[in-house]
Chains A and B, each alone.
Chain A
Amino acid sequence: MSAMLSDLSTVVVLASRARQRVRLAMGISALALGVLAALSIANGAVSVPLADLPRILFGAGEGAERYSLVVLNIRLPRTILVMLVGAALALSGAIMQGLFRNPLADPGLVGVSSGAALAAGITIVLGDLIFGGRAGSLPFALLPLGAFLGGLASTFLLYGIATRRGRTSIATMLLAGIALGALSGAMSGFLSYLSDDRQLRDLTFWALGSFAGASWTKVSAVAPVLFALVISAPFLARGLNALAIGEAEAYHLGFRVQIIKAGSIVLVALAVGVSVAAAGVIGFVGIVVPHLVRLMLGADHRTLLPLSAMGGAVLLIAADLVARSVVAPAELPIGIVTAAMGAPFFLWLLLRRELGIE
Chain B
Amino acid sequence: MMAPVIEARAAGYSVRGKALVHAASLALDEGRITAIIGPNGAGKSTFLKLLSGELVPDVGQIRSLGTDIGALPPWRLACRRAVMAQASRLAFPFLVHEIVRMGLEGYGARAAGGFGGIVEGALARADAAHLAGRQYQTLSGGEQQRVQFARTLCQLEAGRRIEPRQALLLDEPIASLDLCHQLALMDAVREAAHGEGVAVLAVLHDLNLAAHYADYLVAMNGGRIVATGVPSEVMTPGLIRAVFRVDVGAMPDIAGPAILPQFCRRIDEPTAA
Given the complex, which residues of B lie within 8 Å of A47, measured CB to CB? none
A24-32, A210-218, A245-253: which lies at the B interface? A245-253
Question: Is A244 a contact of B94 with CB atoms below 8 Å?
Answer: yes
Contact of A253 among B76, B106, B124 (CB under 8 A): B106
A10 close to B102 (CB less than 8 A): no
Name, among A11, A248, A251, A299, the residue most crowded by chain B CB atoms within 10 Å (CB to CB). A11
> Is the beta-carbon distance between B117 and A8 smaller than 8 angstroms?
yes
Smallest beta-carbon distance B46→chain A, Å: 12
Q: In the complex, are the beta carbons of B91 and A7 less than 8 A apart?
A: no
Cα–Cα distance between A299 and B102 once the two chains are bound (Å): 13
Q: How would residues 169 to 206 of chain B score, 1 for a CB under 8 Å from any chain A CB and 0 otherwise?
A: 00000000000000000000000000000000000000
Task: Please encode chain B, from 111 to 147, with 1 for each CB lying within 8 Å of some chain A CB and 0 for all others.
Answer: 0000001011101100001001100010000000000
Q: How far is the CB of A349 from chain B (nearest CB, A)?
A: 13
Indicate whether A15 reaches chain B with its CB closer than 8 angstroms: yes
CA distance A3 to B121 in the complex (A): 11
A169 located at the interface, meaning its Cβ lies under 8 Å from any Cβ of chain B in the complex: no
Q: Are B108 and A300 in contact (CB under 8 A)?
A: no
| The one of A11, A103, A298 that contacts B120, using a Cβ cutoff of 8 Å | A11
What A residues does B99 contact at CB under 8 A?
245
Contacts of B53 in A (CB 8 A): 251
Chain A residues lying within 8 Å of B107, measured Cβ to Cβ, are 254
- From known contacts A10-B129, A11-B132, infer whether A241 and B102 are also in contact, taking CB-CB under 8 Å: yes
* 1/0 contact string of B54-95 vs chain A (CB within 8 Å): 100000000000000000011111110111010010111111
Contact B88 A245 (CB under 8 A): yes
The reply on A51 being an interface residue by CB < 8 A is no
Residues of B within 8 A of A248 (CB): 49, 54, 83, 85
Known A-B contacts A101-B91, A246-B85, A248-B85; the reply to A4 vs B106 at CB < 8 A is: no
Contact of B123 among A7, A241, A254, A299 (CB under 8 A): A7
Quick one: given A4-B124, A10-B129, A251-B74, are A103 and B102 in contact (CB under 8 Å)? Answer: no
Q: What string of 1s and 0s marks CB contacts (under 8 Å) between A4-21 and chain B? A: 100110110011000000
Residue B224 at the A interface, CB < 8 A?
no
B91 near A255: Cβ-Cβ < 8 Å: no
Q: CB-nearest residue of chain B relative to A235?
A: B109
Q: Which residues of B contact A246 (CB under 8 A)?
A: 85, 88
| A201 lies within 8 A of chain B by Cβ | no
Q: What residues of chain B lie closer than 8 Å to A255, measured between beta carbons? A: 74-75, 105-106
B123 near A11: Cβ-Cβ < 8 Å: yes
Q: Which of A8, A252, A300 contacts B94 (CB 8 A)?
A: A300
Question: How far is the CB of A250 from the nearest CB of chain B, in Å?
Answer: 8
A102, B94: Cα distance in complex, Å: 13
Contacts of B120 in A (CB 8 A): 4, 7-8, 10-11
Residue B103, interface by CB 8 Å: yes
Task: Give A10 to B75 CA distance when docked, in angstroms.
Answer: 29
A55 sits at the interface (CB 8 A) = no
CB contact under 8 A between A242 and B92, given known A249-B85, A253-B155:
no
A294 B92 Cβ-Cβ under 8 A? yes
Let me know if B105 and A238 touch, CB within 8 A. yes
Q: A242–B148 Cα gap in the complex (Å)?
A: 12
Residues of A within 8 A of B233 (CB): none
Q: Which 9 A-B pairs have the closest CB atoms?
A: A254-B106, A254-B78, A299-B92, A254-B75, A7-B129, A101-B91, A253-B106, A252-B83, A8-B120
25 contacts between A and B (CB under 8 A): A3-B129, A4-B124, A7-B132, A8-B120, A11-B97, A238-B105, A238-B108, A241-B98, A241-B102, A245-B99, A245-B102, A246-B85, A248-B49, A252-B52, A252-B81, A252-B82, A254-B74, A254-B79, A255-B74, A255-B105, A256-B73, A294-B92, A298-B94, A298-B95, A299-B93
Given contacts A7-B129, A253-B105, 7 further A-B contacts (CB under 8 A): A14-B133, A242-B105, A252-B52, A253-B102, A254-B78, A299-B98, A300-B98
